[in-house]
Amino acid sequence: MKIIQAAAAILVNRNGEVLITERPAGKIWPGYWEFPGGKIEAGQTPEMALKREMLEEIGVTLESFVPFSFVSETRADEGYHVIVLCYLCRAWQGEPQARENQQMAWVRSEALDGYKLLPSNKGILEQLKEAL
């Protein structure tokens, strides 16, 4: 079974809202919402991957972030296991922009249940609600 490792950022703005992005057509799981991030490439630490992905996907440079949670999920029907390392971030440079033609939304943590989140992202919702 293939193992996919990814890093995701939970960006929290001054209003206590978190940024989620919708996966665009042409990618696996189109139409699902997620915390921005992506695969950890060979030779990268999770932190390096997270910084790269934030710049590529939404055009921000992370200033500080801390490990928050992780998700480990088997997708046997699709032949892979995914491990997503989630980081909490409250400081970045730049204004988030949709660089991959994705939809974006700032959402209060208690309203995240109203979005069609990736199954791997749902695993951290309760922890996130408690933390914010």
**Measuring CA to CA, how many Å separate 74 from each of 1, 4, 26, 85?**
9, 10, 22, 15
As a whole-number percent, the residues of the chain with pLDDT over 70 amount to 100
**Tens digit of pLDDT for each residue in 60-87?**
999 999 999 998 989 888 888 999 999 9
pTM of the model: 0.90
Q: How far apart are CA 18 and CA 40, in angstroms?
A: 22
Higher local confidence (pLDDT), 78 or 90: 90
DSSP summary character for residue 115: S
Q: What is the mean pLDDT of residues 12-16?
A: 95
Model confidence at 94, pLDDT cuts 50, 70, 90, reads: very high
Model confidence at 97, pLDDT cuts 50, 70, 90, reads: very high
Six token digits for residue 132: 């914010």
Neighbours of 76 (CB within 10 A): 8
Q: What is the pLDDT of residue 115?
A: 93
Q: How far apart are CA 98 and CA 117, in angstroms?
A: 18
Q: Which residue ranges form the domains of the chain, and what is each CATH number?
A: 2-131 (3.90.79.10)
CA nearest neighbour of 116 among 50, 21, 49: 21
